């Protein structure tokens, strides 16, 4: 790998003090092949540990989604996605035709204050959006309760598929009185108060939704991943390999989707090459000590890592950066997002003029050419580290399951929009798994990470459909009240 040259321009005219800093940052942020292998080996052990009664840092949550779709699921379902920035409500119809779906949807902005407000405000807001959706799309209809797949993308312990005790908030959410409690009853109460005809059938993680939606049209799909504001994966395990469910005497060959919650990998800081900047991010976050892996790779944190480095170079390090400039805008926490880094990495010009203008317009800082070279290199380092570390998780699941070839469905803003993320991840998979020289390009690789189908829409609907189908067949593992579920969702399922 060319560690010293940037993708554009040359470092020839970069003064020694900045060059020294670039070298220091390269050492801090580069994850070499042997480290990648060490991380993924430890990851395999931790995935296994999470499935045991004693557990570990990675929660490995059984989701009670216990089958892949066969493409012939049918029915009409609602899906609700409580993402970080938007709330999305969809109505999905699964027709007779294999692998097809129709979808109508509305998006509602999630007010920023909601993330740190009260539980009541949260559930009321969500119920209001659902009510609006139903009133708009089903005006004057006498509706039977529609079955709903609720994509709730936070770690939750599920004893049943329509149950979920929030383990902890992630992604900067900090709403009091929700952690440690089942999120379903207050959500249902808010719906009942409004008389909204909806029956929650399945509480779904976005990764499980992604896995199932992608498997609807691709039988090679084995893992669903989100590389977005947060980062996580789900895959299908056999019940027999989940010691923490042994007391339920489930047929060991039955499949069970596991929401890994791998953002919590290495919370005990054994293998991840944390930099001083990662330590600051953790300390200043609403949940210090949690989500160690996620905080190094997810979209929410990439811009912040980058900002902390630049600020440190300006204030503390032995170099001259942004001298005589007003850096007050750069001092504001979380003022730069992953899109800011993407933009820098996408600057096509040799003189980095777009990056120059970005700093000028957004931060009021006028950069010199050597500073721009450092900025570009830093963005590459932060983005590359994220992609390479992410690959360790994918490789670990494949190693654990003995999958040498498979498809991985991925979604999220970082995966879809961050330049080179896919190729950098594929290169890292090649290094970890010792693929031949012509592999690791992100195309025709043994393990291929592909853009996923809509997990929190179609995926959540499919999981609701699969649940009802299973209950109809009398397979009631993880179903709290089978009769009530079928009765409430008067839907014909084949
Ligand atoms: C959450 C996961 C989620 C991931 C991606 C993490 O912060 O804990 O439940 O799957 O973000 O949205």
Check if 431 has its Cβ closer than 6 Å to any atom of ligand 1.
no
Q: Is the CB of 228 under 6 A from ligand 1?
A: yes
Distance CA 203, CA 468 (A): 13
**Predicted pLDDT of residue 492:** 52
- In the annotation, is 106 catalytic? no
Catalytic member of 57, 153, 214, 390: 153
The reply to whether ligand 1 has any atom less than 6 angstroms from the CB of 83 is no
Check if 295 has its Cβ closer than 6 Å to any atom of ligand 1: no
**Residue-wise pLDDT tens digits, 305-330:** 999 999 999 998 889 899 999 999 99
By mean pLDDT, which of 77-86, 410-419, 463-472 is the weakest? 77-86
- Residue 154 has what pLDDT? 97
β-partners of residue 232 are: 226
Q: What is the pLDDT of residues 134-164, one digit of tens each?
A: 999 998 887 788 999 999 999 999 999 999 9
* pLDDT for res 139: 87
Pocket lining: 227 vs ligand 1, CB cutoff 6 Å: no
Check pLDDT > 90 for residue 10.
no
Mean pLDDT of 464-479: 95
Alpha-carbon torsion angle 106, 107, 113, 114, nearest 10: 50
Instruction: Give the pLDDT confidence score for residue 86 in this predicted structure.
Output: 86
**Confidence band (pLDDT; 50, 70, 90) for 121?**
very high
Q: How far is the CA of 230 from the centre of ligand 1 (A)?
A: 5
Lowest mean pLDDT among 1-15, 85-99, 207-221, 250-264: 1-15
Distance 299 CA to ligand 1 centre (A): 11
Cα of 36 from ligand 1 centre, angstroms: 22
pTM score of the predicted model = 0.95
359 CA distance to ligand 1 middle (Å): 31
Please state whether beta strands 221-227 and 156-157 pair in parallel, antiparallel, or not at all (unpaired): unpaired
Q: Looking at residue 52, what is its pLDDT?
A: 98
Cα of 404 vs centre of ligand 1, distance in Å, is 26
Q: If pLDDT is split at 50, 70 and 90, which confidence band does 101 have?
A: very high
Query: Mutation test of ligand 1: which of 231, 258, 291, 300 has the most ligand atoms closer than 8 Å to its C-beta?
Result: 231
* From 162, 182, 206, 266, active-site residue: 206
Nearest CA, atom 8, ligand 1 = 154
What gap in Å lies between CA 377 and CA 145, rounded to an integer? 54
Ligand 1 atom index nearest CA of 207: 10
Q: Does the beta carbon of 154 lie inside 6 Å of ligand 1?
A: yes
299 Cβ below 6 A of ligand 1: no
Catalytic residue list contains 153? yes
Q: Is 142 a catalytic residue?
A: no
Residue with the nearest Cα to atom 12 of ligand 1? 230
Instruction: Give the burial string for 352-364 (b: 16+ CB within 10 Å, else e).
Output: beebbebbeeebe
For the Cβ of 40 lying below 6 angstroms from any atom of ligand 1, the answer is: no
- 11 against 281, higher pLDDT: 281
pLDDT band at 494 (very low <50, low <70, confident <90, very high): very low
> Per-residue pLDDT for 7 more than 60?
no
Residue 61 Cβ < 6 Å to ligand 1: no
Q: Are the beta carbons of 392 and 39 closer than 8 angstroms?
A: yes
CB 167 within 8 A of CB 205: no
How many residues does this entry show for the chain?
494
* Ligand 1 lined by 63 (C-beta under 6 Å): no
Distance 331 CA to ligand 1 centre (A): 28
Task: Give the pLDDT of residue 490.
Answer: 67
Least confident residue range of 9-13, 230-234, 459-463? 9-13
């Amino acid at each position: 790998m060319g560690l010293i040259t940037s993708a554009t321009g040359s470092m020839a005219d970069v003064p020694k003090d900045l060059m020294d800093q670039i070298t220091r940052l390269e050492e801090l942020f580069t994850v070499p092949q042997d480290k990648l292998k060490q991380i993924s080996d430890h990851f395999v052990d931790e995935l296994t540990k999470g499935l045991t009664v004693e557990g570990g840092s990675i929660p490995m949550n059984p989701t009670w989604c216990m089958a892949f779709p066969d493409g012939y699921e049918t029915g009409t379902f609602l899906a609700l996605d409580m993402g970080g920035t938007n709330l999305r409500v969809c109505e999905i119809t699964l027709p007779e035709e294999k692998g097809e779906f129709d979808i109508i949807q509305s998006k509602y902005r999630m007010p920023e204050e909601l993330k740190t407000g009260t539980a009541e405000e949260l559930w009321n807001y969500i119920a209001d959006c659902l009510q609006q959706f139903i009133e708009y799309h089903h005006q004057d209809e006498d509706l039977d309760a529609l079955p709903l797949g609720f994509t709730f993308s936070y770690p939750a312990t599920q004893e049943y598929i329509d149950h979920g005790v929030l383990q902890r908030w992630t992604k900067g959410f900090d709403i009091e009185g929700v952690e440690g409690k089942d999120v379903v009853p207050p959500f249902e109460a808010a719906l009942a108060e409004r008389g909204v005809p909806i029956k929650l059938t399945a509480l779904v993680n976005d990764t499980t939704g992604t896995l199932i939606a992608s498997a609807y049209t691709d039988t090679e799909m084995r893992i669903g991943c989100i590389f977005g504001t947060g980062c996580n994966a789900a895959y299908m395990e056999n019940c027999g390999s989940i010691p923490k469910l042994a007391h339920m005497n489930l047929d060991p060959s039955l499949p069970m989707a596991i929401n890994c919650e791998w953002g919590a990998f290495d919370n005990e800081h054994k293998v991840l090459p944390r930099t001083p900047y990662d330590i600051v991010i953790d300390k200043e976050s609403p949940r210090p000590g949690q989500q160690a892996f996620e905080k190094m790779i997810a979209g929410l944190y990439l811009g912040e890592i980058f900002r902390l480095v630049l600020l440190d170079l300006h204030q503390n390090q032995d170099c001259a950066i942004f001298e005589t400039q007003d850096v007050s805008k750069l001092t504001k926490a979380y003022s730069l997002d992953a899109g800011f880094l993407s933009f820098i990495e996408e600057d096509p010009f040799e003189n980095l003029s777009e990056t120059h203008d970005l700093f000028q317009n957004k931060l009021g800082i006028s950069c010199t050419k050597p500073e721009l070279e450092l900025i570009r290199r830093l963005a590459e380092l932060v983005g590359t580290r994220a992609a390479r570390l992410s690959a360790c998780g994918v490789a670990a699941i494949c190693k654990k399951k003995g999958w040498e070839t498979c498809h991985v469905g991925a979604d999220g803003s970082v995966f879809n929009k961050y330049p080179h993320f896919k190729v950098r991840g594929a290169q890292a998979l090649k290094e970890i798994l010792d693929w031949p020289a012509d592999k690791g390009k992100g195309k025709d690789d043994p393990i291929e990470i592909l853009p996923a189908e809509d997990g929190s829409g179609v995926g959540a609907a499919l999981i609701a459909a699969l649940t009802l189908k299973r209950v109809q067949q009398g397979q009631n593992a993880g179903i709290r009240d089978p009769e009530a579920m079928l009765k409430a969702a008067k839907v014909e399922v084949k």
